[in-house]
Structure 1
Amino acid sequence: MAIYSCNISNVSRAKGSSACATLSYISAEKIRDERTGELYNYGREQRVIEVATMLPAGAPQEYEKAERLFNSIENFEKAENARTAKKIIVALPREFDLDMQSEVIREFIEKNITSKGYACTYAIHHDKDNSNPHCHILIANRQIDSKTGKWANKRKMEYALDDKGERIPLIDKSTGKQKVDSRNRKQWKRISVESNPMDSRETLKDIRISWAEVCNKRLSQDKKIDHRSYEEQFKDKDLKLIPTIHEGYEARAIEAQGGISERCEYNRQVKSKNNLLRQISEELKQLSGQIKELVQEKGAELNERIGNLLRRRAVIKSAGRTSDRERTVTSAGGFAEETADITELISSARNGITDSTAKEENSRAERADREAERERLNRERERKAQERKLQLAREREEYEASFRDYGPSL
């Protein structure tokens, strides 16, 4: 069954990370970091199935080589705490073959990354039995200017706005009036704002949603994935599923060797409990539907009988226009029949109310009995505890008295 997983994180110098080191890890290639001179080589080529670099419009052709692309961004960023790249790891549905996996990844990247001016390299990884196919996407964390082919600015100056959404004037303290420039143009307060979409929460949320959408176009209805958490999915259904935890390569390696990983075992238990919760929820849903159908059926039956009674009454009233003798006979017979039906309906309703009242009273009585039994058990428990306390006190007193009795003779 397809599962949803889309993890997004930063490659940050502040945490000792490097875009070149990350590139070496996902591609299983030797990569030298020109900024530090360090050579990275993580190996494990057998797990890497496909590696490719995708560029936005206007990007330099040399960036088609991933090592050149990420050395360029590493050299461009000067801050010690620079976030030079973004990492995205997505779980690939096992229902997809390699061609479909590649197709899904490229569509996802074109829609969310290169079309927004970012360059990236992706690597599809498989394990031995293809139980964990996934893809690493490494994104240079700065847009490329489509006109110049150079790295774009991450910040820009914008007008500061007040609570009403209007520009805030720059006031000359000496005059109390709004400042003007040499051309007598009014001056307004400006602020520096983040202009790198890849660092915004909205963009990251859209990326998570998009991954589910791209995959679901190719998955059957019963295997579609959902980007929402369990809490979000079932917040209106009174069903709170337990979230699983990330297992990781080491945990799966333990399982592959015949061992039992704590993380994998925990997830198995969670999945079992969640399946039970879903089953209970589905059964409750079915029962609710059956009750609703029964109520509608009984309601329709009652409405039909009332309609018949009203039609009979109309017939009896129209018969009132006949002779007195006919009126007497017809009215007597008609009203007798109508009265019998009404009496039957009232009796049926009364019996239903009586049954409901009896059931409710029985339920109340049962609850009262359970509460009384609970109180009795609590009182009995308290009594025994008190007796035990007194017994211990007496035993302690006797024990201490025995020492007092033998004290003088020692």
Structure 2
Amino acid sequence: MIKEKIFHLTIRNFSRGKGHNAIQKGAYRTGLKIEDRKRGLTFNYEKKSQRENISYEMVLPVNASGKFNDPCYFYNEIERSETRGNSRLFKEIELALYKELSEEENKELARQFSQEIFDKYNVPININFHKLNSDNPHCHIVIAQRYIEGEKFTIKNRDLDKRDFVRETRQRWEKCSNAYFKQKNLMLFVSHRSYEDRGINKIAGRHINRKHLIAEEKQEDLCFNKLSMKHNRRQDFKREKNNVIRTIRQEIELVSLVRMSRLEVAGKEVNEMNSKTTVLKLYNNEIESLKIKYGQYKSTIFEKKQIEKEKRQKLQQERASFKERREKHQSKMFHKKNDLEEMKIGHEELKNELKFYSVFNPFDWKKRQKIKRKMVHNKIKQKRKKLEIKREKEHFKYYKKQLNEKKKDLKKERRDIFELYKKQVVTKVKTIKLSKEKKKTKDLNKIVENILNLERYKRDNKIGMKKIIRENKKELSQ
């Protein structure tokens, strides 16, 4: 049984406009002590490196200076080459590596992936391995935005900023991982597509950040992940059960095929004896089979109608409950939006109140601190209220989606009933046509050999309704 591994790949952009510093970010990723030559600051992450067993590698073009092998020089040059206030410093791809692979195998896989990116975009890459001996082995791949010539960065590679880069990178990591699993004979695979895109009835878990600001939201996400895991385990069990049933059925079919072949060999003579039949029997057999079909369609239509009736009743109930929900939702949204507006006005009032107390007057400090505390509480309340509004909207969307799905299901049921009615009418017409043809056919007692199908007999003898009517007309005229 092939097991699916979690696919985790995030692409981030670090820019000066967001307040990022290339040297600080580089020191964190490489686990080194790097000095910012421009500002005279030092960023030291050597203790983190010892704790997490961090190692790094550089992928550089042929024409690049050997100085770029030193991360201190590499990140200082990135910081120096970007002069604008909102310029993008570098891109980062964060990858989750695999516990099933050894430390060296994980490194080799990340190198292959980085080499493919380098071959396409020809920009320098810094690969950083974190926690390879733990339960969370991962890798930070830092991609510089500019080409290298000698000891300096030159023009930017704008292909990295295109939307296709994200899609292609995700597909590339999937192909690299699956090819490596195949090479190492591991029964594992990953997929960059979501469960919904693949048509799998599973629920994806929510990412929980360790720096979760709101405790209630974190608790909600944890509960959601527990329920989703439970649902996914149930789905996996069902799939395994279906696979077992399928294999058993295949084995039964093979056994039955072998048995049938033996019976065919043993009963060849019996088939030859029973190969003779009359035209009347052919007609009767065909009419009988059409009548059976008609009866089957009739029973299925009756069953489908019962199901359609139940679904229609359920839909009517759902519509009534949805109307009530919509009214409640509108009233809730109205009150919550009003509360939010009042909070915003209260915040503005506190701001104006703060202006009355001077920063330089020591007697006003306590009052200023009190007002600032109120402002912080007000901001938190606003965030909570916005979150409530968002959740309320999501709940309403969910109920609306459910109602639409039930409508589609009912329409499908009605289409199926209509198709069955069509088939029933066709069989009825065929039976009437064959019974008329049977009455007007002369050679009903004619014996035919090795023909067990009426259609084949009619095709071989070129017999049809038109020919029979023509012959009957000739006889009447004579």
TM-score, scaled to structure 1: 0.59
Per-residue CA deviation, residues 212-246 of structure 1 (Å, 9 max, x unaligned), is 11111121574211122333333xxxx46433222
The one-letter code sitting in structure 1 at the alignment partner of 2:163 is R
Paired amino acid for 2:204: P
Change (3 A) 1:115 1:373: closer
CA distance in 2, matches of 1:41, 1:343: 94
Q: Give the whole-Å Cα distance in 2 for the aligned partners of 1:62 and 1:201.
A: 32
- State the TM-score, normalizing by the size of structure 2: 0.52
Residue 229 in structure 1 maps to residue 194 in structure 2: yes
- Seen in structure 2, the aligned counterparts of structure 1 residues 102 and 262 have a Cα distance that, compared at 3 Å, is farther
The aligned amino acid for 2:94 is I
Which residues in structure 2 correspond to 1:6-405 (within 5 Å)?
A: 6-42=9-45, 43-45=47-49, 46-113=51-118, 116-126=121-131, 130-145=134-149, 148=150, 150-154=152-156, 195-219=157-181, 222-234=187-199, 239=200, 241-248=202-209, 263-277=221-235, 334-335=277-278, 338-365=279-306, 367-368=308-309
Report the Cα distance in structure 2 between the residues aligned to 1:213 and 1:228, rounded to whole angstroms: 12
How far off its partner does 1:94 sit? 1.5
Question: Partner of 1:390 in structure 2?
Answer: none
CA–CA distance in structure 2, aligned partners of residues 29 and 210 of structure 1: 30
Change (3 A) 1:231 1:38: farther
What's the % identity of the aligned pairs?
Answer: 23
Contact 1:52–1:123 (CA under 8 A) maintained in structure 2: yes
Residue 248 of structure 1: CA displacement?
A: 4.4
Structure 1 residue 97 displacement after superposition: 0.5
Extract unaligned runs of 5+ from structure 2. Answer: 213-217, 261-271, 321-478
Classify 1:357/1:11 alpha carbon distance in 2 versus 1 (closer, same or farther; 3 Å). same
CA contact (8 A) 1:2 1:94 kept: no
**Corresponding residue SS for 1:357:** helix
Shift in Å, 1:361: 1.3
Question: What SS is found at the alignment partner of 1:39?
Answer: strand
Q: Which amino acid in 2 is paired with 1:150?
A: K
SS for the counterpart of 2:76 is helix
Assess if the C-alpha contact under 8 Å between 2:63 and 2:148 holds in 1.
yes
Structure 1 residues 218, 13: closer, same or farther in 2, change over 3 A? Answer: same
Change (3 A) 1:73 1:371: closer
8 A contact 2:17–2:87 mirrored in 1: yes
Paired letter, 1:90: L
Query: Contact 2:99–2:135 (CA<8 Å) still a contact in 1?
Result: yes
Return the letter of the residue paired with 2:93.
Answer: I
What is the CA–CA distance in structure 2 between the aligned matches of 1:16 and 1:35, rounded to whole Å?
16
Q: CA deviation at 1:280?
A: 5.9
Distance in 2 of aligned mates of 1:28 and 1:68: 15
CA, structure 1 residues 361+288, in 2 after alignment: closer, same or farther (shift >3 Å)?
A: farther
Indicate conservation of the 8 Å contact 1:56/1:115, yes or no.
no
* Amino acid in the other structure paired with 1:230: Y
CA drift of 1:86 comes to 1.0
Which whole-Å deviations, capped at 9, do the CAs of 1:85-141 have from their partners, x for residues lacking one?
1111001021111010110111111110266322222221127x7221110112222
Q: Helix, strand or coil for the counterpart of 2:147? A: coil
3-state SS, counterpart of residue 138 of structure 1: strand
Distance 1:49 1:339 in 2: 88
Amino acid at match of 2:14: V
Cα RMSD after superposing both structures? 4.1
More helix by share: 2
- Conserved? CA contact 2:59–2:118, under 8 Å: no
SS at match of 1:113: helix
The answer to whether the 8 A contact 1:57-1:117 is kept is no
Query: Hey, what's the Cα distance between the residues in 1 that align with 2:140 and 2:14?
Result: 13
Q: Which amino acid aligns with 2:229?
A: K
Contact 1:143 1:152 in 2 (8 A): yes
Which sections of structure 1, spanning at least 5 residues, go unmatched? 155-194, 252-259, 302-311, 317-333, 380-410
Please say if residues 98 and 137 of structure 2, whose CA atoms lie closer than 8 Å, have aligned partners that are also in contact: yes
Query: What secondary structure does 1:153 align onto?
Result: strand
Deviation at 1:75, TM superposition (A): 0.7
